[in-house]
Amino acid sequence: MRIALYPGTFDPITYGHLDVIERAVALFDEVVITLAKHSQKTPLFTTTERKALIEQATAHLPTISVETCDGLLVEFAEKRGAIAIIRGLRAVSDFDYEFQIALANRVLAPGVATVFLLPGEQYTYLNSSIVREVARLGGNVESFVPAHVGVALKSKFNTRTKP
């Protein structure tokens, strides 16, 4: 069985992420969306909330699972039996950083390949930070995220003090 990990914060999951997931599903028997438990980022949504949002967004894909990782991703990949780590590239600027990480991962786990996937061109500008900012300012995010994610964003920002 060919298993791939798709790691990220997914705070929140966007149509760009889903596009990459759909592409990965076509290449691998199982895709494990992997949330880091202790990211250097401070996410808007908790790990539990992000996991639930991802599970709902990918419910139509039977070969997807969502798990958390509490250490080195490549160690989790080896433990999980994954042969690849999926990374989405939106722009050339993403490549330099991702390339360095891929090379380090290759040293740490030679049996785990890094596979770069490009989202559809309509999503190359899209990232979770943009979505959060639009939502925080009361903008419409329906073009960026599934409806249930938009509702969750609205709920988060309605409970916070406006700037």
SS3 per-residue string spanning the chain: CCEEEEEECCCCCCHHHHHHHHHHHHHCCEEEEEEECCCCCCCCCCHHHHHHHHHHHCCCCCCEEEEEECCCHHHHHHHHCCCEEEEECCCHHHHHHHHHHHHHHHHHCCCCEEEEECCCHHHCCCCHHHHHHHHHCCCCCCCCCCHHHHHHHHHHHHCCCCC
Whether 128 sits among the annotated catalytic residues: the reply is yes
Q: Which CATH superfamily is domain 3-158 in?
A: HUPs (3.40.50.620)
Which pLDDT value is given to residue 158?
83
Instruction: Tell me which of 23, 87, 128, 132 is the catalytic residue.
Output: 128
Instruction: Tell me which of 39, 65, 80, 90 is the catalytic residue.
Output: 90
Which pLDDT value is given to residue 40?
76
Whether 60 sits among the annotated catalytic residues: the reply is no
What single-letter amino acid sits at 17?
A: H
Whether 2 sits among the annotated catalytic residues: the reply is no
- Distance between CA 26 and CA 21 in Å, rounded? 9
Instruction: Tell me which of 2, 41, 79, 154 is the catalytic residue.
Output: 41
Instruction: Tell me which of 17, 23, 87, 132 is the catalytic residue.
Output: 17
Please identify every stretch of the chain with a pLDDT value under 50, giving residue numbers as ranges: 161-162
Whether 23 sits among the annotated catalytic residues: the reply is no
146: phi then psi, degrees, rounded to nearest 5? -60, 155
- Closest by CA to 113, choosing from 131, 140, 86, is 86
